[in-house]
Amino acid sequence: MRFSGPAIQTPAHGKNHVFKDIEHLIRLAAVMAIGLIAFIVLRAAVVPRSFGQYGHYRGAAIAEAAAHPISYAGHTVCEGCHTDVVEQKKLGKHVGVPCEACHGPLAKHADDPASVTPPKLDTAVLCARCHEANSAKPKWFPQVVTADHSGGVACDTCHQPHKPRIEDEKTAASGRKN
Amino acid sequence: MQIPVEGFMYPNEVELQWSVLIVLYPYITGLVAGAFILASLERVFRVEAVKPTYRLALLTALSFLLVAPMPLQLHLGHPERSFEMYLTPHRSSAMAMFGFVYLWYLMAVLLLEIWLDYRRDIVLKAQTSQGFTRLLYRLLSLGSNNISERSLRIDERLGYFITLIGIPSAFLLHGYVGFIFGSVKANPWWSSPLMPIVFIFSAMVSGIAAVMLLYMLTTHLRTRTIDMRCVDTIARYLLYTFVIDFSLEMLDLLQRIYEADESFRSLDFMVHTRLWTSQVIIQILLGTVTPIVLLGLTQVLTLTDTARKRIYAIAGSLTVVGIFAMRWNVVIGGQLFSKSFLGYTTYKMGFATREGLLTAIVLMILPFGILWVLVKLLPPWPDAGSLPASGTTPAHGTT
Amino acid sequence: MDLSRRRLLMLLPAAAVAWKYVEAGTPESSPNYKLTDHWWAMLIDIPKCIGCGSCVRACANENDVPEGYFRTWVERYHVSDWKIERPEVESPNGGKQGFPPNEESGGKNFFVPKLCNHCSDSPCTQVCPVGATFSTPDGVVLVDKTYCLGCRYCVQACPYGCRFINPKTNTAEKCTLCYHRITKGLTTACCEVCPTGARQLADLKNPNDPIHEFLRTHTVQVLKPHMATGAKVFYNGMDGSVR
């Protein structure tokens, strides 16, 4: 500004005066501009790369959600090996009950069948979860009051869980159709 | 579950999400908006009588505004991520937009207005003080010490313009808080188009009452005489806004009772049981009807100055308590009932926990601490003896 | 069983390949999954639900759901003839251990499994201030737990009570529709273990999905339709008292 001073003559003097009287406002504007620029730079540096890839979110989050480990292998994987059980289940009412509904999460077993073996199940507890009588259960569903029905005796004493109907066992040999 | 539940709640609903800290947030923001609107009464609407409170109101607004985000920060699961609100704000989120409304109000309205109003004082202080304070004032003056009449006139005009923008901004600030609640369609206790308006008027009520009390208290502490014309005017405005606020709230209530939609039975039961004390007794009877009646009495009866002062003090105190209860009933009440309308949970406030009572008390005291510092730094009193005797009238105020 | 395992590899090469990727936890390399080819939903067949709680347990196992919080849960309704609008509902521990026997006292009783409705106009994603919860291109509402502030606005905005704050991560959490499973050709954990087939994962963009035939031939509704959230969990045979 020093060198431009002499070049500007009388008319500019008033202009200079105006400038001087709003100098503090210009300084304030400069402070705000610096803040704004700092924000824009920071924003560009900090916002995750994949943000906005599919929408207003971090696109990489989708793949991260999909990377969660699996606990339940799924019955098709079980059936690949345990073909004998598949055949057995086909003969009974539990044909539609998926393996891990009773046996629990067994992805680790599917991955390494030799070293990870499923625990033995307690049928007295397990069967009651579904078959204990409850008025809210649909009428078509087979239900018993276990206390009256078995008096605490484990269900698999009489029933074979993969093919639960008792008369099935007697008639299976004589070529029952269903 | 250790939290007592009555009836049926969806299992994830049992635990309350928003604690007493989220009660403080609309309360504090409301005080800001209200205090600012009182300040603008003098500047824009030229209500000369309230002039003694102009600067005090601005500093009060700033003190509370600085504290307003703190309860939010403390309640976040990840406070360190809160800056994301500015980096990647979600345009459809009322909460994200509030971040910008807050920033706008703080930076573009309140700080600017205070700075312009105090610039002459700051420059003069920078010239007369020593050491660290001198540095501080120099910093505040942004290194410019031009306080020529012309520059002050420019400041004055700009300040007026900012106040003009500031009024809708203050409405926006608190209306937006109302919208954060009012736009939650899942929650019938909150979901109401009246919510932003009720919030704005209750904000004005609480802010005006708070500044009135602060003015009376500080004047008393400074052993000066209270300007009765000033407090009479403030009290009158308090009464007017209170009447509007109360009418709006009653309108909302009447509509709910008459419509009696699917949520009504559940909410009605809640008001008659869990919210009876905080809503009916504290908010409506003590916090609204009593101050309105008291303030109304000062309008119809001829009372002595002392009597009026006492009434104003009582009415003002009841008002700030009542508005706090209103925020409580909105925030906490909105979470006590199940969205299945079949049951109720209980709010267990911790004491020395992150979101406990102690934190809330500290956060409520903090603005007064900030105000104390600000008052020391930028004395709001027209008769401030600390100002260098320049022989001129203070530069602020109306032209 | 080693022999049968080898047979699996021979018989089901596609399944085996998928399984390899599944175990490796690398979804990007899951064969042939395209986000835009799917639009996920679920069908709940209320007359088939027996309230065994298998889905709740499986969900907790599969997704490490903290105790006391639920990504899915089961409610038991009792609706008396006199108070159709005021059903009695209970969900002890989300139905995780099933339901204790109840006395029959007139009216009707039934179970309602609940989970995130993966709404296409979801109020929860609408209110998220930072974009930490979102709808994926294949129609699943997810939470980005590395980006979530834990402000809990989404928990307030969900009309169905499906969200909660995980006390370990301090971020919002909810059903992901087992996104890690469905993107690899598996069904969700809850559907996998449902003994009666009361829960069925559905892909609305797959023309061969039986959901289309089902929706055409059954009276199906969603929860709280007046909320207009575009809920994608369809309920068959649901009583009007359910909320």
Q: Are A108 and A116 spatial neighbours (Cβ–Cβ below 8 Å)? A: yes
Q: What is the mean predicted confidence (pLDDT) over C126-150?
A: 97
Measured CA to CA, the distance from residue C39 to residue A136 in angstroms comes to: 33
User: Is B305 inside a domain boundary?
Assistant: no
Of A66, A82, A133, the CB nearest to C179: A66
Q: Are B95 and B180 spatial neighbours (Cβ–Cβ below 8 Å)? A: yes
Both structure tokens of B136 = 């501080």
- Give the pLDDT score at B340: 96
Alpha-carbon distance B94 to nearest alpha carbon in chain A (angstroms): 15
User: Is B16 inside a domain boundary?
Assistant: no
Alpha-carbon distance A10 to nearest alpha carbon in chain B (angstroms): 19
Measured CA to CA, the distance from residue C75 to residue C85 in angstroms comes to: 16
CA angle B306, B307, B312 (to 5 degrees): 100
Both structure tokens of B139 = 């910093």
Mean pLDDT of all residues in chain C?
Answer: 89
Does C35 contact chain A (CB < 8 Å)?
yes
Would you say residue A39 has pLDDT above 60? yes
Does B264 contact chain C (CB < 8 Å)?
no
Q: Are A22 and B88 in contact (CB < 8 Å)?
A: no
C6-15, C24-33, C192-201: least confidently modelled range: C6-15
Cβ-Cβ contacts under 8 Å, B94 against chain C: 127
Q: What is the mean predicted confidence (pLDDT) over C25-48?
A: 82
Q: Are C35 and A101 in contact (CB < 8 Å)?
A: no
Mean pLDDT of all residues in chain A?
Answer: 84
Of A24, A42, A56, the CB nearest to B142: A24
User: Is C28 inside a domain boundary?
Assistant: no
From C90, which residue of chain A is nearest by alpha-carbon distance? A136
From A103, which residue of chain C is nearest by alpha-carbon distance? C193
Q: Are B141 and A46 in contact (CB < 8 Å)?
A: no
Count of other CB atoms within 10 angstroms of residue B262: 12
- Give the pLDDT score at C104: 63
Report the candidate in C233, C227, C36, C242 with the shortest Cα–Cα distance to residue C121: C227
User: Is C22 inside a domain boundary?
Assistant: no
Does B266 contact chain C (CB < 8 Å)?
no
Q: What is the mean predicted confidence (pLDDT) over C79-103?
A: 90
A156-160, B66-70, C62-66: least confidently modelled range: A156-160
Q: Which residues are CB-contacts of A63 (< 8 A; sequence separation ≥ 6)?
A: C27, C28
Q: What residues 164-223 of chain C have any CB closer than 8 A to a CB of chain A?
A: 176, 179-181, 183-184, 186-187, 189, 192-197
Of C52, C103, C192, the CB nearest to A74: C192
**pLDDT band with cut points at 50, 70 and 90 for residue C5:** very low
Q: Is A112 helix (H, G, I), strand (E, B) or coil?
A: coil
Measured CA to CA, the distance from residue B73 to residue A54 in angstroms comes to: 29
Q: Are B10 and C160 spatial neighbours (Cβ–Cβ below 8 Å)? A: yes
Does B73 contact chain C (CB < 8 Å)?
no
Q: Are B95 and C159 in contact (CB < 8 Å)?
A: no
Subunits in contact with chain A (3 or more CB pairs closer than 8 Å): B, C
Alpha-carbon distance A82 to nearest alpha carbon in chain B (angstroms): 38
Cβ-Cβ contacts under 8 Å, C69 against chain B: 11-12
Q: What residues 1-60 of chain A have any CB closer than 8 A to a CB of chain C?
A: 48, 51, 54-58
Does C88 contact chain B (CB < 8 Å)?
yes
User: Is B297 inside a domain boundary?
Assistant: no
Alpha-carbon distance B104 to nearest alpha carbon in chain A (angstroms): 12
Cβ-Cβ contacts under 8 Å, B142 against chain A: 24, 27-28, 31
Q: Return the top range by mean pLDDT from A158-167, B159-168, C79-88, C189-198.
A: C189-198
Q: What is the mean predicted confidence (pLDDT) over C32-56?
A: 95
- Give the pLDDT score at C61: 96
B79-86: long-range contacts, CB 8 A cutoff, minimum separation 24: B81/C130, B81/C147, B81/C148, B81/C149, B82/C149, B83/A46, B84/C129, B84/C130, B84/C132, B84/C147, B84/C149, B85/C129, B85/C130, B85/C149, B86/A39, B86/A43
Report the candidate in B365, B268, B280, B363 with the shortest Cα–Cα distance to residue B23: B363
From C164, which residue of chain B is nearest by alpha-carbon distance? B12
Count of other CB atoms within 10 angstroms of residue C42: 26
B30-39, C18-27, C140-149, C188-197: least confidently modelled range: C18-27
Alpha-carbon distance A85 to nearest alpha carbon in chain C (angstroms): 12
Does C176 contact chain B (CB < 8 Å)?
no
Instruction: Give the 3-state DSSP-derived string for B137-202, with helices as H, strands as E and coil as C.
Output: HHHHCCCCCCCCHHHHHHHHHHHHHHHHHHHHHHHHHHHHHHHHHHCCCCCCCCCCCCHHHHHHHH
Alpha-carbon distance B147 to nearest alpha carbon in chain A (angstroms): 8
User: Is B121 inside a domain boundary?
Assistant: yes
Q: How many domains are contained in chain C?
A: 1
Measured CA to CA, the distance from residue B312 to residue B235 in angstroms comes to: 7
Of B9, B77, B342, the CB nearest to C149: B77
Report the candidate in B74, B95, B82, B79 with the shortest Cα–Cα distance to residue B21: B74
Count of other CB atoms within 10 angstroms of residue C209: 19
Q: Are B87 and A46 in contact (CB < 8 Å)?
A: yes
Does B144 contact chain A (CB < 8 Å)?
yes
Please report, for the domain that includes residue B116, its CATH number: 1.20.1630
Instruction: Give the 3-state DSSP-derived string for chain C, with helices as H, strands as E and coil as C.
Output: CHHHHHHHHHHCHHHHHHHHHHHHCCHHHCCCCCHHHCCEEEEEEHHHCCCCCHHHHHHHHHHCCCCCCCCEEEEEEEECCCCCCCCEEECHHHHCCCCCCCCCCCCEEEEEEEECCCCCCCHHHHHCCCCCEEECCCCCEEECCCCCCCCCHHHHHCCCCCCEEECCCCEEECCCCCHHHHCCCCCCHHHHHCCCCCEEEEECCCCCCCHHHHHHHCCEECCCHHHCCCCCEEEECCCCCCC
From C180, which residue of chain A is nearest by alpha-carbon distance? A66
Cβ-Cβ contacts under 8 Å, C147 against chain B: 81, 84
Q: Are B146 and A47 in contact (CB < 8 Å)?
A: no
Calculate what percentage of chain C has a pLDDT beyond 70. Answer: 86
Does C89 contact chain A (CB < 8 Å)?
no
Cβ-Cβ contacts under 8 Å, A42 against chain B: 87
Would you say residue A77 has pLDDT above 50? yes
- Give the pLDDT score at A24: 92
Count of other CB atoms within 10 angstroms of residue B157: 12
Q: Is B266 helix (H, G, I), strand (E, B) or coil?
A: helix
Residue B362: which domain range?
21-252+351-377
User: Is B140 inside a domain boundary?
Assistant: yes
Residue-wise pLDDT for C160-173, tens only, equals 999 999 999 999 99
Both structure tokens of B60 = 């009060």
Residues linked to residue C235 through DSSP beta bridges, in sequence order: C44, C221
Would you say residue C27 has pLDDT above 90? no
Alpha-carbon distance C74 to nearest alpha carbon in chain B (angstroms): 10
Q: Are B154 and A21 in contact (CB < 8 Å)?
A: yes
Q: What is the mean predicted confidence (pLDDT) over A160-170?
A: 77
Residue-wise pLDDT for C92-127, tens only, equals 999 999 999 877 667 899 999 999 999 999 999 999
Cβ-Cβ contacts under 8 Å, A61 against chain B: none
From C53, which residue of chain A is nearest by alpha-carbon distance? A129
Of A98, A130, A145, the CB nearest to C52: A130
Q: Are B96 and C129 in contact (CB < 8 Å)?
A: yes
**pLDDT band with cut points at 50, 70 and 90 for residue A122:** confident
Residues of chain B with pLDDT under 70: 1, 383-399
Q: How many domains are contained in chain B?
A: 1
Does A178 contact chain C (CB < 8 Å)?
no
Q: Which residues are CB-contacts of A174 (< 8 A; sequence separation ≥ 6)?
A: none
Report the candidate in B118, B126, B125 with the shortest Cα–Cα distance to residue B155: B118
User: Is C6 inside a domain boundary?
Assistant: no
Q: Are C192 and A98 in contact (CB < 8 Å)?
A: yes
Residues linked to residue C173 through DSSP beta bridges, in sequence order: C164
Would you say residue A9 has pLDDT above 50? no
From C79, which residue of chain A is nearest by alpha-carbon distance? A136
Please report how the helices B195-221 and B228-259 are oriented relative to each other, as an axis angle in degrees rounded to 10: 150
**pLDDT band with cut points at 50, 70 and 90 for residue A170:** low
Does B340 contact chain A (CB < 8 Å)?
no
Q: Phi first, then psi: what are they for C141, rounded to 5°?
A: -90, 120
Alpha-carbon distance C23 to nearest alpha carbon in chain A (angstroms): 7
Measured CA to CA, the distance from residue A166 to residue A156 in angstroms comes to: 10
User: Is C142 inside a domain boundary?
Assistant: yes
Subunits in contact with chain B (3 or more CB pairs closer than 8 Å): A, C
Q: What is the mean predicted confidence (pLDDT) over A64-69?
A: 94
Would you say residue C10 has pLDDT above 50? no
Please report, for the domain that includes residue C198, its CATH number: 3.30.70.20
Helices (H) and strands (E) in chain B, counts: 15, 2
Residue C221: which domain range?
37-236
From A45, which residue of chain B is nearest by alpha-carbon distance? B87
User: Is B240 inside a domain boundary?
Assistant: yes
Measured CA to CA, the distance from residue B29 to residue B334 in angstroms comes to: 19
Both structure tokens of B348 = 């267990």
- Give the pLDDT score at C7: 41
User: Is C27 inside a domain boundary?
Assistant: no
User: Is C177 inside a domain boundary?
Assistant: yes
User: Is B78 inside a domain boundary?
Assistant: yes
Cβ-Cβ contacts under 8 Å, B335 against chain C: 156
